[in-house]
Amino acid sequence: MLDYLPQEIIARKRDGNALTAKELEAFVAGITSGDVVDAQIAAFTMAVFLNGMTPEEGATLTRAMTNSGRVIDWTRIGLEPGAPIVDKHSTGGVGDKVSLMLAPIVAACGAFVPMISGRGLGHTGGTLDKLESIPGYKTTPSIEAFETCVKMVGTAIIGQTSELAPADRRVYSVRDVTGTVESVPLITASILSKKLAAGLNGLVMDVKVGNGAFMQSMDNARKLSRSIVNVASAAGLKTTAIITDMNEVLGRTAGNAIEVLEAVEFLVSPDKADGQLLEITLVLAAEMLALGSIVKNRTEGYKMARECLFSGRAADKFAQMVHALDGPSDLMENPDRYLKLAPVRMEVLAPHDGYITAMQTRDIGMLIVAMGGGRTRPEDSVDHSVGIDHLVNRGCKVGKGDRLCTIYAKTEDMAEHCRDKLLSFIAVEDTPVEPPASVREIIEGDSNG
């Protein structure tokens, strides 16, 4: 490390230079060992945010972060070489609980889904924060317990342990609070280092676009999608990026426990599911099944995923996973017993007749954070009980006094504050608008065949 001082590496990137493989590997090694402190990580990530990285730098950073810890070999525990080991990763949105339903659906179709998820970043909710609202659920089991759950159940959704991509774990927490979340090279390296460490042979990226996404324009969403599929392809990982709409909260809820409640209802009673949430989940499932060669094409995958969902097999898989990771055995039968909501319940009512034409989705996400449902510092705890429910969709017609959503807050003052904010975040206008398609574009990697 003495040959590559962290401050010199930071300065070179600050000045717009491309870093060598040895410099990047040394910096990542310092992150892993603790020789590089959080302030230096913050400076490095800001330098990358401002100056970007070449494709070669991005690939080197990804490999270094992958190799900073253990890389799982699934054949070691008895899976056949070439077994369909697939996963999905979302770039993050508001109300995005797709992973909770998608993993068990794909597992019910015969694939293995070892899903390593993250916590909330900025205005977006984190899958781990949602799962931690389930009493007892172990989001950081041992690698052995993780492997066993995937082998026996077909899926396990966990967080990064100290053994898998530990360098990324430190960088991830710093990015959340230093204004560097949106950096394409850092997003790419963070996502792929975890996925490569999990031993995948197929990955589907759900790249969100819109006012509730980190990528607010299609040009930026395509840029990130191509960055990910190109780096992944160079690493030999079949990857497809699907760009999906995030101009409104996904589904009817935003929060932690309340999103798990919606996910449970989705799995148990899919006929009642929000239409956009159902469509995006099934499209992603179809692509995962195609990448894993479970089916010949996306059309067959969509049909199989839908059948596994509506038959109840996916709900059974979710229940098995929760119990295998030390959560309650009867969560699906008694979700209200375990998923507690904040005590103050307040409805937000439409101020006049009209149509829901737009949402300030990012602001809604930040409102959840302000309520305690997210973090402003890495060490902050999360209040899993707060959130919003029964949220109307864009395009809906409402009358004066109709419910726009329901708030669950800790105090009356907080609920009233949120009500006033939400009234300014949800547009009710005289003329209806046609919402954009849920799935905007599909971008394939070179190695997808």
Q: How far is CA 295 from the centre of its chain?
A: 25
Q: What angle do CA 146, 119, 272 make, to 5 degrees?
A: 85
* Three-state SS at 56: helix
The active-site residue, picked from 13, 89, 119, 317, is 89
- From the list 60, 62, 90, 244, the catalytic residue is 90
Which residue is associated with the tokens 């997003």? 187
Task: Of 385, 395, 373, 388, give the one whose Cα is nearest residue 419.
Answer: 388
**Is residue 397 flagged as an active site residue?**
no
Q: How many whole angstroms separate alpha carbon 201 and alpha carbon 195?
A: 9
Residue 128 one-letter amino acid = L
Q: Is 345 a catalytic residue?
A: no
The active-site residue, picked from 63, 138, 195, 252, is 195
Catalytic residue status for 190: yes
Q: Which of 60, 155, 188, 190 is catalytic?
A: 190
- Does 140 participate in catalysis according to the annotation? no
Alpha carbons 257 and 292: distance in angstroms, whole number = 31
Query: Which of 30, 115, 29 minimizes the C-alpha distance to 67?
Result: 29
Active site includes 117? no
Spot the catalytic one: 66, 87, 274, 385.
Answer: 87
- 410 has catalytic annotation: no
Name the residue among 212, 283, 190, 189 with its Cα closest to residue 241. 283
Catalytic residue among 13, 63, 88, 170: 88
421 is catalytic: no
Catalytic residue among 63, 119, 169, 175: 175
The residue among 158, 214, 216, 218 whose CA lies nearest residue 186 is: 214
Nearest to 407 by CA among 250, 255, 246, 251: 255
H helix intervals, 379-435: 412-425
Is 329 one of the annotated active-site residues of the chain? no
Token pair of 25 as six digits? 């590997």
Single-letter code of the amino acid located at 212:
G
- Sheet bearing 387-389, strands edge to edge: 254-255, 387-389, 403-409, 344-349
Catalytic annotation, pick one of 13, 130, 138, 194: 194
User: Is residue 88 flagged as an active site residue?
Assistant: yes
Active site (catalytic) residues:
87-90, 127, 175, 190, 194-195
